[in-house]
Amino acid sequence: MVTHSPDRQAARVPAADAFTPLLTTAFGSHPPVRIEFWDGSAIGPVDGPGTIRVQSPDAVRRMMWALGELGLGRAFVAGDLDIDGDIYRTLRAVQTGADRDTKLGVRGGLAALRAAASLGVLGRPPAPPPEEARPHGWLHSRGRDAYDISHHYDVGNDFYRLVLGPSMTYSCARFTDPGTTTLEEAQSAKHELIARKLGLRQDMRLLDVGCGWGSLALHAAAAHGVQVVGVTISQEQAALARERVAAAGLGDQVEVRLQDYRDLSGERFDAISSVGMFEHVGRKRMGQYFTTLHGLLGPRGRLLNHAISSIGGSALGRRSFIGRYVFPDGELMDVGQVVLAMEDAGFEVRDVESLREHYALTLRAWIANLESHWDEAVAMAGEARARIWRLYMAGSALGFEDGGVSIHQVLGVVPEVGGAVAMPPTRRDWM
């Protein structure tokens, strides 16, 4: 198809006028945020929560050729679409303002096609941004999982240090006093909560599955005197974790391995932590996962599984923004399914705790770090990557705030013959 020049597009009809019928149908009225187009035309309130800028006709082409989240995501990552103002309020306004009873379907697609045709912007879009994940092979095979993990975590340790702060902990913190607790204090409080739930004591042996940059392993060794084996399949995480262990003088207590959990066998541990890793396991391998970990524990051994969850479970599909740009092949389990899978593997589940609101606070702290060091983040990881992280973390924060997603810590124990598990009588000792 022929793509017309911007001058000819402008001469035909203002872009806002062309898309007004589609937008008013989608929102049930005028959109709740201002939408400005490349030709200077706009629709929506000037005093709304924010402005969505359609910077280029390429944004329309991307959305026409990949309907839904994928096209929108490609346009945002490429800079063809942008958000000015408070990103949380803008996204929330779009989410709540959409007419839930309106099913655009084919009718909406035809309306969009007519609008694009009237502007002379039909044509093939540019290639997708190179940051887009394209995994190959069997789902959750070793090779494919290694690719997925590298795509997300091997984007630069300095970039993650900027976003996560000094704690270098990429999981939900625990804000004991949200008004005064810093992010670093909240991450330390989360590590201590896990250590207490696991009953860590001097000279116990802890396995940290998906150890990241080693923060929980360092806390367990320094504060509780345990011996720790941390495993990860991210090369950059393993390298920095080993550096941090050496710098802390804990090399005789903490071993960091570049190892897949499926290769763990023939060893024995007193406790196992799995924090922010389970989302990469997948529904079909969930039973194998818990069975493998159960086999590494002796009687009274404890497992703490800390993972994002969703009601009924959900896969982060390849046509979703997060599935394509953030967590390829990621899957969220229903916490009820997790409990059943742990019980099937032989664990007695003794405690389930939601930290949903805490993750929203954690994400907002990470975004504040990113936005306050934006130029540095772009220099480290590229503008596209920085844009991906800003959008995904803001959207995730809203999801945790409204309950669209949650996060649970599930504590399982291997019972002895007769059912003894040596648990404290109440949660008081954990708090």
Q: What is the pLDDT along the chain (431 residues), one digit of tens a residue?
A: 444 444 444 446 899 999 998 888 888 788 999 999 999 999 999 999 999 999 999 999 998 888 888 999 999 999 999 999 999 999 999 988 875 544 555 566 677 888 888 888 888 999 999 999 999 999 899 999 999 999 999 999 999 999 999 999 999 999 998 788 999 999 999 999 999 999 999 999 999 999 999 999 999 999 999 999 999 999 999 999 999 999 999 999 999 999 999 999 889 999 999 999 999 999 999 999 999 999 999 999 999 999 999 999 999 888 899 999 999 999 999 999 999 999 999 999 999 999 999 999 999 999 999 999 999 999 999 999 999 999 999 999 999 999 999 999 999 999 987 776 778 888 887 77
What pLDDT does 7 receive? 44
The pLDDT of residue 180: 87
Contacts of 188 (CB under 8 A, 6+ apart): 167, 219
Topology, domain 142-430: Rossmann fold (3.40.50)
Distance CA(46)–CA(38), nearest Å, equals 17
Strand partners, 356: none
Write down the domain spans for the chain.
6-119, 142-430
Q: Are 404 and 310 in contact (CB under 8 A)?
A: yes
